[in-house]
Amino acid sequence: MRTKRLILIAVSLAASFALSLALRPPRVDAKTDCAKLKWQPAPLKFGPVNMGSQVARSFTLTNTSKTLGAEISSIAVTTAPIFTLDDSATTCAAGEMPPGAECILGVTFSPSAKGKVTGKATVSFSDGCSAVHRKVTGKGIAATASPTPTASATPTPTPTPSPSPTPTGAASPTVAAVTEYNSAEVDVFSFPGVASPTASPSSVPSTEVTPTVSIAGPSTGLSSPISAAFDSAGNLYVVNENGGIEYGTTGQGSITIYGPLSGSGTQDLAPIATIEGEFNLACTAAAVPYACCSGPGTGTCVDNTGLNDPSAIAIDPATGNIYVANFLGGSALQGSVSIFPPLGNQTGLLNIAPIATIVGADTGLDTPAGVAVQDNGSIWVANYQSINEYPPLGSSTGALDEAPLASISGSATDILGLAGLLLYPPTASTSVFAFDSFNGVLQFPTAISGDENIAPTTVTSGNGIASPANGAVAAGGSDVLVTNINGGVVELDPQGNVVQTFTSSSFDQPSGIAVQP
């Protein structure tokens, strides 16, 4: 009798459980039942803006899902009144956002004080899906500072240097990897060299190029790739501005590393290693898939990398150390440079700490967007409106809050907004090629000391140079290949003359470029 009663109780409980499941509303799985939205750009960055002024910029928000619509309930921008929603430019609105649709979200920046400000744009949904967020950053400066053009401003063209380029002799093709920021892929091209450039920069040849290899797909880990570098073994390192696995918000950035490239066509190539933090997550049920969580409510995810909106990478050929510029590094979000040791045979997810970090009030770092290591070990950094040189790393470790050895800044420099730099030539460097988003390619000598407000030795604009983002020394070590964020790659000779230009249907905001060894 006792056994029968137990069986009846068990059956009753099972029936009640089944009934409760039937009555429970269906759970929305944010990973499978929600549309996937893409922001461009991400994050949205405002350069230095005078206090009391207002500058407007815009996000493009795209529903990349082929089948799922998004039910937008509200749109907001935090840190008002410094960052506010620009109703005149915003087309995103509450309601259905069909698959493949896109809309504009306008943001205004109105700094009232000096210093960096960080806000957030948020789109919420009414269908149970998690809200999506993107970081917004800007910096207020005193009204007496050097003027910064707004997004709609057109800089005054600077005369192109000497109209008679010297022959380069660089006839061999240059194999280079180009990061395509918008399409989240890396394309490898064979750029043909020229032995005898045309005599007139107004009629430089333009060549259509097609990638031999494209790294693209869900296995790659690419997310807004912005910079790239090869090590001496031919491994490719790619900086992802929005990589990482921060739950519920945009990632802090990552470095994906791929083995030596071979074959052709599009390759959904998984990285052999990824430098990526795990972002101080509490291990909620939603965060359990991450490796740092051992179970719901168990453990804490920790970011050891210190990556924060990484923008550029350089590998020291002498030591193999990896230098990464962080646009928003440091506790004050003024930027930092993380220095990682050679990876050796390490594979998989590497939540590793840098051996040293250039960070702190004395460094003079200010939203760095470029980094390079000179043959003597000196570390060069392109800030938004200055170029700083720091002493060689040597045996230094930990946080290095040290003043630069020298700095190039001031009204005479023509620097308005740097996006990167390189040292030329690769050995016995004598000049810095600085890539200014507004004024073109600027060259300065590396032999500087103290604070130098000096004019560039050459300025290159026009003839294909528009919004230059980064560059690399071409095969043979004579010319420089420059990417333009608005499309195209341009080849310059050492004097800054445009030798030839390259176009491609694959270019989608090309930003970084690295020459294969």
Most confident of 117-131, 226-240, 287-301: 226-240
Residue 363 is given by DSSP the state G
**Closest by Cα among 196, 218, 214 to 205:** 196
For residue range 140-154, what is the model confidence (pLDDT) as tens digits?
766 544 444 444 444
In this prediction, residue 3 has a pLDDT band, given cuts at 50, 70 and 90, of: very low
**Closest by Cα among 340, 338, 335, 305 to 322:** 340
For residue range 367-381, what is the model confidence (pLDDT) as tens digits?
999 999 999 999 999
For residue range 235-270, what is the model confidence (pLDDT) as tens digits?
999 999 877 654 434 457 899 999 999 999 999 999
- The answer to whether domain 37-141 and domain 174-515 are alike in fold is no
For residue range 448-460, what is the model confidence (pLDDT) as tens digits?
999 999 999 999 9
For residue range 13-47, what is the model confidence (pLDDT) as tens digits?
344 434 333 333 332 333 346 777 777 665 677 75
Cα–Cα distance, 367 to 365 (Å, whole number): 7
**Residue 497 in this model has a pLDDT that exceeds 70:** yes
8 Å CB contact between 447 and 408: no
Cα–Cα distance, 321 to 338 (Å, whole number): 10
E strand or H helix at 282, and its extent? none
In the chain, where the domains are located: 37-141, 174-515
Cα–Cα distance, 95 to 76 (Å, whole number): 15
**Closest by Cα among 206, 210, 160, 170 to 190:** 210
Residue-averaged pLDDT of the chain: 81
DSSP of 53-71: --EEEEEEEEE--SS--EE
Residues 6+ apart with CB under 8 A from 500: 194, 197, 204, 205, 206, 207, 490, 491
**Closest by Cα among 103, 335, 120 to 249:** 120
For domain 174-515, the CATH architecture is 6 Propeller (2.120)
- Dmax (CA) for the chain in angstroms is 106
The average pLDDT across 276-291 equals 57
The average pLDDT across 217-235 equals 94
8 Å CB contact between 232 and 317: yes
Please check whether the domain covering 37-141 is classified as CATH 2.60.120.10: no
CA distances from 159 to 273, 309, 442, 461, 462 (A): 45, 34, 12, 7, 9
Q: What is the pLDDT of residue 18?
A: 40
The average pLDDT across 4-11 equals 39
DSSP of 137-180: EEEEE-TTSPP---TT--PPPPPPS-SSPPP--B-S-EEEEEEE
